Amino acid sequence: MSGRSFLDTNIVVYAADESPAERDKHLTAVELLRQEPDSLVLSTQVLQEFYYVVTRRIAMPLDPDRAAAAVRGLARLEVIPADTELVLAAITICRSSQLSLWDALIIEAAYQAGCERVLTEDLSHGQVLKGVLVENPFRPADPRR
């Protein structure tokens, strides 16, 4: 694998969410986005969901112009398009697992991009799907380590 990380929507949303209630997640997400750009990947699905969520669903929504500018900035990373091949492969994952189609699309996009991991808080930390490790960067550190 490449050491590359696929960013799920919640990671980029927290990077844009400056509400006090999400401060810790915001700081973690911003730090993740400071990694080498060549090591970060997302998909058209992530860009679409990001715009919708940051303009409507967070405590301090972004105005549409600022959200569009943020999408343009995120689009500088590698963006995997949700084409027919990806959708059909995600449906196969969905049918053989307990994943929703939306989560299967994320896993398949990460797999097609050759990512080592998916960074998300929506799936089970440590789970491996199609050879891609799920990591929750907001998970508290294990005190035994």
Quick: pLDDT tens for 84-131.
999 999 999 999 999 999 999 999 999 999 999 999 999 999 999 999
pLDDT score for 145: 57
φ/ψ region of 3 (left if φ > 0, alpha if ψ in -120 to 50, else beta) reads left
Per-residue pLDDT at 77 exceeds 90? yes
- Return the domain boundaries, the chain: 5-135
Mean pLDDT, rounded, for 136-145: 82
pLDDT of residue 53: 99
CB-based burial of residue 90 (10 Å sphere; 0-12 exposed, 13-18 middle, 19+ buried)? buried
Domain 5-135 CATH (choose: 3.40.190.10, 3.30.110.40, 3.40.50.300, 3.40.50.1010) = 3.40.50.1010
Q: What is the DSSP string of 105-134?
A: HHHHHHHHTT-SEEE-SSS-TT-EETTEEE
In this prediction, residue 144 carries a pLDDT of 67
Whole-number pLDDT of residue 1: 47
In angstroms, what CA-CA distances link 91 with 42, 65, 71, 105, 124? 19, 34, 26, 8, 20
Is the confidence at residue 64, as pLDDT, over 50?
yes
